[in-house]
Amino acid sequence: MDSVFSNVARAPEDPILGVTVAYNNDPSPVKINLGVGAYRTEEGKPLVLDVVRKAEQLLVNDPSRVKEYIPIVGIADFNKLSAKLILGADSPAIKENRVATIQCLSGTGSLRVGAEFLKKHYHQGVIYIPKPTWGNHPKVFNLAGLSVEYFRYYDPATRGLDFKGLLEDLGAAPSGAIVLLHACAHNPTGVDPTSEQWEQIRQLMRSKSLLPFFDSAYQGFASGSLDTDAQSVRTFVADGGECLIAQSYAKNMGLYGERVGALSIVCKSADVASKVESQVKLVVRPMYSSPPIHGASIVATILKSSDMYNNWTIELKEMADRIKSMRQQLFEAIQARGTPGDWSHIIKQIGMFTFTGLNKEQVEFMTKEFHIYMTSDGRISMAGLSSKTVPHLADAMHAAVTRLG
């Protein structure tokens, strides 16, 4: 009997998640998965932070905790502490109550709720996103009904920032357009503007009334410092202008599957912020009604306690330092093999990912011959590497470059 869904075509595999599927199906003992955007220990295992386990124990052992619904906007402490984490404890915007913060379903949910709000209440329906960017960005904004345009960002020739192209494209954008900016550790390239370049971007955007929408997925995880990684956002908030910020605790607290994030909308006045919050609630209510309790309670518990907060910053720096050490080891291993080309971008780029500059054919060759799994654009997750696997990756890269050019 025919199904009423007979006309439904099979959707293509998500390119990033598809890498993991292929990796899982490979029986080779030397296989390496460098596709997944999640931290791994030196032993290649997922990590639950000690401070997260401690916070969970406190929550589980507290008999006064119940499972009632929480408000549409989420847990008040979580929202207050999240805004403070990204904007800084002394932020005038917070002191003046000009920030509407809503607990959302990690970074993706925060972006989607923000996009739906903008579609309904903002006069300009176009958003400019960097080329390249995270594969989910265009889908999130398109589905919310915004029209997506790109601005130049990455220069394949230098494997660095195409700053001239970026300024030209944003300079040509219509007045009032929304601009998506990665707060730090740009995904997939690992290439960030310098603080001087950020200042130029800010001046250009403010002169054209372009609305910044920051995606902050890696605060503290990129440099090892929570304040350093928030500088770009704080520069824009310091000028008194408006912006949106999507925050995720997936990477920096290792809370991937708990789906914990926040959307903050910095407004011109407390009155506007309160109206904005009232309208964001109307976006959330018919979408998922209210957010989950557990993950946000973990975050609030850690951010509320100075001891736990300090322990978190130590564990966070350890993760960031391990990734930096993998960059250094890979760079040195490639140098030692005399692989043709300049590979200094491996240590110049920042955060979880390195945009290697390897092409699709080279990536396919490395998968086939060396059982190394990565996305076809040559992006590798540095967190998937260990001291034991660096030599195998360096061998594969050397072979791919020397044999395929």
Residues acting as catalytic residues: 134, 215, 251
Q: Residue 181: CB partners within 8 Å, gap ≥ 6? A: 130, 201, 212, 213, 214, 215, 232
Which residues partner with 161 through β-bridges?
154
- Select from 171, 179, 170, 201 the least CA-distant residue to 124: 179
User: Is cis: bond before 132, omega within 30 of 0?
Assistant: yes
Q: Which amino acid is at 170?
A: L
Residue 124's Cβ-side half-sphere holds a number of Cα atoms within 13 Å equal to 17
What pairing do the DSSP bridges indicate for beta strands 211-216 and 379-381?
unpaired
Per-residue DSSP letters for 91-121?
Answer: -HHHHTT-EEEEEEEHHHHHHHHHHHHHHHH
**How many residues belong to the chain?**
405
Q: Which amino acid is at 307?
A: D
Q: How far apart are CA 258 and CA 298, in angstroms?
A: 10
319: helix, strand or coil? helix
First to last CA, the chain: 54
Q: How far apart are CA 263 and CA 311, in angstroms?
A: 25
- Select from 341, 337, 369 the least CA-distant residue to 356: 341
Q: How far apart are CA 247 and CA 207, in angstroms?
A: 26
Q: Which amino acid is at 237?
A: V
Q: How far apart are CA 126 and CA 335, in angstroms?
A: 44
107 neighbors 259 (Cβ within 8 angstroms): no
